[in-house]
Amino acid sequence: MLTDVFTLPQPDKEKQLRDELNALVSQHRQTCPPYARILDALGARGEAATLTELPWLPVRLFKTRKLVSVPEDQVIRVLTSSGTTGEVSRIHLDREAAAAQSRMLARTLATVLGSRRLPMLVVEGRGVVGDRRSYSARGAGALGLANFGRDHHWLLDADDRPDVEALRAFLDRHGHAPFLIFGFTFMVWTHLYEVAREHGLDLSQGILVHSGGWKKLADRAVDNAEFRRCFGVDTGLTRIHNFYGMVEQIGTVFLEGPEGGTLYCPDFADVIIRDPVTWQEAPVGTPGVIEVLSTLPTSYPGHVLLTEDLGVVHGIDDGHWPGKRVSVLGRLPRAEARGCSDTYPGGTS
Amino acid sequence: MELGRLKSVFHDSLEIPKETPVSDLEYRSSAQWDSLAHMSLVAAIEDEFGVMLDTDEVIDLSSFNRARQILEKHGVVLAD
């Protein structure tokens, strides 16, 4: 499979990212005074010799502070995400950062979708984009992916129920050649898989891109392997790509490879798993807190972030694409999340 | 072909009043041209000129002038 963003073996990537991220740390330090104060408080100075030494910010800082590195009049978009407690992250993009995030997301997904826009089935109702002044996270997700499709078909009716007849019509028209399916993992399972199985629908030409986590499916004992197995056996759908990403690093997604099972980091991003007690990098195979690194955040200091998610690195340079193979295991338990910000020592300690 | 056809597509799909000029329009510079409207605009351009845009071009289509240039790449030359 052709790709131009899953190319760098880990040692090459680490060298390249270290230099680019050191430069970003220094740029944000000069242009974002609150960020500079945080770095000073952490005692972070000088250049990091390795990726693990780069100073990180806890992702929740974007919920409590305004962190922006460009003049107000250059901000063209402010993205928001609602958190579990109702706090909202605010991410400021200038023209350059907004363009870069769209372009790099496109290049990442083109790896599995190709560059031609495919007929697209969205596992949502048209209503999620109904209120144009404030989209929900779900609406924003669907719209962000809409550029990759054409002849968009929204699966759910006005009552949020799958419209089986309309789905049949879509498949009659487009189901004989590759088509794109996008949705949040839980919605895809309950509204597409269960319906397709019940009605014996053929999804074998589909390419599914989905995200959102497995928590809601854990009750049904559905994990990634079971999800893939059931779709394959019951609907013929085998081209399935889960991804992990967040608004605080918009445009960067960690994408499940064609062989299925684990996520890969594009060339301009990486993941470090940290032990939640010592904050040292956890060895391969040992779960810990996910830190995400990306060169895309140029208008706000989101280039090195400690998330509130747990994950594990399964292997390095041993998979379908080079680099780390990663899984996301779920949210950090609440108490640990709080402990995490209390004891947060910074990346250089 | 006349540039007026592209102007009409912008007016119609973005629901911009006839008397408002569109030739300086940029993506997200007006409330009418947001990411939802962008999908309708792209579909309308494809229908009107019989072209099919790639993902890169959909993302790159950030102004009226870019739309004109992208159409030129597809062999659709619009005269003033």
pLDDT digits (tens, 9 = 90+) for A71-94: 999 998 888 876 556 678 899 999
pLDDT of residue A49: 96
Quote the pTM value. 0.90
pLDDT of residue B61: 94
The helices-and-strands tally (H runs, E runs) of chain A is 11, 14
Whether B58 maps to a domain, the answer reads: yes
Whether B80 maps to a domain, the answer reads: no
pLDDT greater at residue A235 or residue A82:
A235
The verdict on a CB contact (< 8 Å) between B52 and A116 is yes
Which two three-digit tokens encode residue B46? Answer: 């494809």
- Residue A309's nearest CA partner among A330, A327, A323, A287 is A330
- Assess A102–B contact: CB distance below 8 Å, yes or no: yes
The verdict on a CB contact (< 8 Å) between B54 and A102 is no
Whether B59 maps to a domain, the answer reads: yes
What percentage of chain A exceeds 70 in pLDDT? Answer: 91
- Across chain A, mean pLDDT equals 90
Burial readout A18-45 (b: 16 or more C-beta within 10 A, e: otherwise): beebbebbeebbebbeebeebbeebebe
What percentage of chain B exceeds 90 in pLDDT? Answer: 74
Which pLDDT band, with edges at 50, 70 and 90, does A134 fall under? low
pLDDT greater at residue A333 or residue A135:
A333
pLDDT digits (tens, 9 = 90+) for A283-298: 999 999 999 999 999 9
Domain membership of residue B65 as a residue range: 3-73
- Residue A60's nearest CA partner among A29, A33, A28, A82 is A82
Q: For residue B51, what is the domain's CATH number?
A: 1.10.1200.10
pLDDT of residue A82: 60
Which pLDDT band, with edges at 50, 70 and 90, does A137 fall under? low
Among B28, B58, B62, the residue with its CB nearest the CB of A117 is B58
Whether B78 maps to a domain, the answer reads: no
Within 8 A of A113 by CB-CB distance, chain B residues are 55
Which pLDDT band, with edges at 50, 70 and 90, does A1 fall under? very low
pLDDT digits (tens, 9 = 90+) for B3-59: 999 999 999 999 999 999 999 999 888 788 888 889 999 999 999 999 999 999 999
Report d(CA B74, CA B48) in Å as an integer.
13
Which pLDDT band, with edges at 50, 70 and 90, does A131 fall under? low
Whether B8 maps to a domain, the answer reads: yes
- Assess A138–B contact: CB distance below 8 Å, yes or no: no
Look at residue A289 and give its three-state secondary structure.
strand
Which pLDDT band, with edges at 50, 70 and 90, does A339 fall under? very low
Which pLDDT band, with edges at 50, 70 and 90, does A246 fall under? very high
Asked if residue A70 lies in contact with residue A92, where contact means CB atoms within 8 angstroms, the answer is yes
Which two three-digit tokens encode residue A50? Answer: 């390795």
Mean pLDDT of A165-189: 96
CATH ID of A1-71+262-349, from 3.50.50.60, 2.30.33.40, 2.30.38.10, 1.10.3720.10: 2.30.38.10
Smallest CA–CA distance from A149 into chain B, residue: B55
Which pLDDT band, with edges at 50, 70 and 90, does A60 fall under? very high
Whether B79 maps to a domain, the answer reads: no
Report d(CA A54, CA A153) in Å as an integer.
44
pLDDT greater at residue A221 or residue A197:
A197
H or E segment to which residue B75 belongs: none
Domains held by chain B: number? 1
Which two three-digit tokens encode residue B59? Answer: 């993302």
Say if the ipTM goes beyond 0.90.
Answer: no
Helix locations, chain A, DSSP H: 10-31, 33-42, 61-64, 95-113, 137-146, 164-174, 185-187, 194-199, 215-218, 224-235, 334-343
